[in-house]
Structure 1
Amino acid sequence: MTHTLTLTRPDDWHLHLRDGAMMDGVLPHSAAHFGRAIIMPNLVPPVRTAADAAAYRARILAALPKGAGFTPLMTLYLTETTEAEDVAAAAAAGLVTAVKLYPAGATTNSQSGVSNFDTVMPVLERMAEIGLPLCVHGEVTDPAVDIFDREAVFIARILAPLRARLPELRVVLEHVTTSDGVDYVKSAQAGLAATITTHHLMINRNHMLVGGIRPHYYCLPIVKRASHMEALRKAATSGDARFFLGTDSAPHVDATKECGCGCAGVFSAPNTLACLAHVFEEMGALERLEGFTSLNGPAFYRLAPNSAKITLQKQDEPVPYPARIETGAGPVTVFDPGHPLFWQVVGG
């Protein structure tokens, strides 16, 4: 049995850091284990322009623990008034790594997102020209579509036609949650990849709903049937370079989760690597963990892997991870996989 595992330092290709006191509290947990992260732009107000991204990056860098080897990779929030040349200038300056598409109303702070996709085609065409990736929250917001079907419908209604219209656009289908999404990525031509979250590899809708509602498992896209979870686990552990880690670690204070209308989001930064080692070990694929966490993402984003290494060790006894962390904004509950974890980061 493998007890020690050394990996190229991982990256997180989908991360919410929030801002202010919340960011100060959660940032050290990602910076401890990850070399880089794609930073989501859904602040209030959103990170819409190059100037917004520069200011947000400066705040992140100022909040990093001393000596942290962590690089925030910034994104712009795509709106129907986004200017193509502002996006191109931000990319040329090395300020942004991608643009984020939220269908309006799809998730937290997405009200400024896109309703009419024709209005953003000039921006997408310019992105295709310069090779700047589009990160997509892949759900429709049509109230007639069941919440568990919104990813599959988005692929059929929006993503497939968009990629047929603009095949040279490089797209990441973020936090894929269904076998439909997995199959679409596998069948697509070059230029399409998908991130998979830690929690979607470990929980399904039974975990969230059976025996009582568990608000800290509520996220968007929502967790699906066990069969979809199994499809994700197979994709993540397959070695297919089109799939890589994006934790979608998304902190909310407990008071906004444990209430009559709770926020969507799972905070997994402190124990993500332990959870992933557990999943890959269960699937008999520990030798493929490095590809998923550390190699496939940089390859898609045309970046070199991190030069640093990180070491995980499997312990004989369960490793105690905190149930919650304290931030200046309030307590935030850490993702609970529902069983003991025996892996922990011991170096790097």
Structure 2
Amino acid sequence: MTDTLTIRRPDDWHLHLRDGAMLHAVLPESARHFARAIIMPNLVPPVVRGEQAAAYRDRILAALPDGMSFEPLMTLYLTEDTDPDDVAAAHQSGLIKAVKLYPAGATTNSASGVRDFDKVRPVLERMAEIGLPLCVHGEVTDAEIDIFDREAVFIDRVLDPVRMSTPELRVVMEHVTTSHAVEYVVSSEVGLGATITTHHLIINRNHILAGGIKPHYYCLPVAKREEHRQALLVAATSGDERFFLGTDSAPHTDANKEMACGCAGCFTASNTMSLLAEMFESKRALDKLEGFTSIHGPSFYGLPVNEETITLTKGSPVEYPAKIETDDGPVTVFEPGFPLHWRVS
């Protein structure tokens, strides 16, 4: 096993940067290691039109510290009122790289999402024509469906019918959490990719619930049984180009995480590369890390790989800040529960 690894600079294909004071505080944590990121549009109000995406991109770039390079890859939030012409124009201009589907009520700031999928069919058909990917939060939100089953039900009830009716549509299943999702991706020959988060490779539902509720491990989709975590780890370290990194790093202040109805999300932007190196090393798959973080994502999105490189070295334990301070309050950095020996140099 090696103690030094040089890879192309990674990208993050699912990232929450928020806005305002939070944006200014967390953006450097991603830009330190990542060259590009697919930026989630679930602000309040959501980013639903091209002009809003352009304005948000400008705010991100204005918040980038001097000396850092980072390219935000913008997305639009799909609603039942989304105009296919606006989507096509934003794509043609080079502004957006994907459209994001949130089933209404599925996660943070998803109230404006889709309830009736027939109403968005014209948008999906236009996206298929122009080659614009659809990023999906793959969960149903029906109250009678157990929260641990919502991803599997979404595949059967929503995703598979959508893909069958619009077979040319390119789809990214974001933050997959189950063996069912992994099997579905593997069984699909073309047009389907999946992101896997850092935290879902590390935690299962016991981390959230055993020995007391751990709010900083609570995320959506919620972590599942250990057998599902193991399936994700096998997929991520397999070298299969259909799987790539999307951290879903989602900052919330401690006050909002630790309240009676706490927000969902794990903040992993600061230490993701150290975490991933540990997990890939545990599977004797460090040679597959570059593909997962730096090659498979650009390939799916039709973008060039980064020419810059980063080097990870193994040594004494790496210390990361426990919290990131923002003007809105502190944000807790994901704690894996084991030492991290890989650092980015």
For the aligned pair, the TM-score class normalised by the smaller chain equals: over 0.9
- State the one-letter code of the partner of 2:153: V
- State the one-letter code of the partner of 2:89: A
**Aligned twin of 2:12:** 12
**Aligned twin of 1:124:** 124
- Secondary structure of 1:344 counterpart: strand
How far, CA to CA, are the matches of 1:209 and 1:231 in structure 2? 21
> What displacement does 1:174 show?
0.1
How far, CA to CA, are the matches of 2:250 and 2:108 in structure 1? 10
Aligned pairs (5 A) from 1:226-237:
226-237=226-237
- Secondary structure of 1:327 counterpart: coil
- State the one-letter code of the partner of 1:188: S
**Aligned twin of 2:318:** 319
How far, CA to CA, are the matches of 2:118 and 2:337 in structure 1? 44
Deviations along 1:120-174, one digit per CA (max 9) or x if unpaired, are 0000000000000000000000000000000000000000011010010000000
- State the one-letter code of the partner of 1:83: D
**Count of aligned pairs between the two proteins:** 345
How far, CA to CA, are the matches of 1:244 and 1:329 in structure 2? 32
Task: State the TM-score, normalized to the length of structure 1.
Answer: 0.99
Aligned pairs (5 A) from 1:1-348:
1-315=1-315, 317-346=316-345
Equivalent residues of 1:24, 1:328 under 8 A apart: no
* Structure 1, unpaired ranges of 5+: none
Superposed CA RMSD: 0.5
- State the one-letter code of the partner of 1:110: S
- Secondary structure of 1:33 counterpart: coil
> What displacement does 1:15 show?
0.0
- State the one-letter code of the partner of 1:192: L
How far, CA to CA, are the matches of 1:22 and 1:305 in structure 2? 29
- State the one-letter code of the partner of 2:342: W
How far, CA to CA, are the matches of 1:131 and 1:17 in structure 2? 26
- Secondary structure of 1:56 counterpart: helix
> What displacement does 1:67 show?
2.0
> What displacement does 1:321 show?
1.1
Runs of 4+ more than 6 Å apart: none
* Structure 2, unpaired ranges of 5+: none
Deviations along 1:275-325, one digit per CA (max 9) or x if unpaired, are 00000000010000000000000000000101100111111x211111111
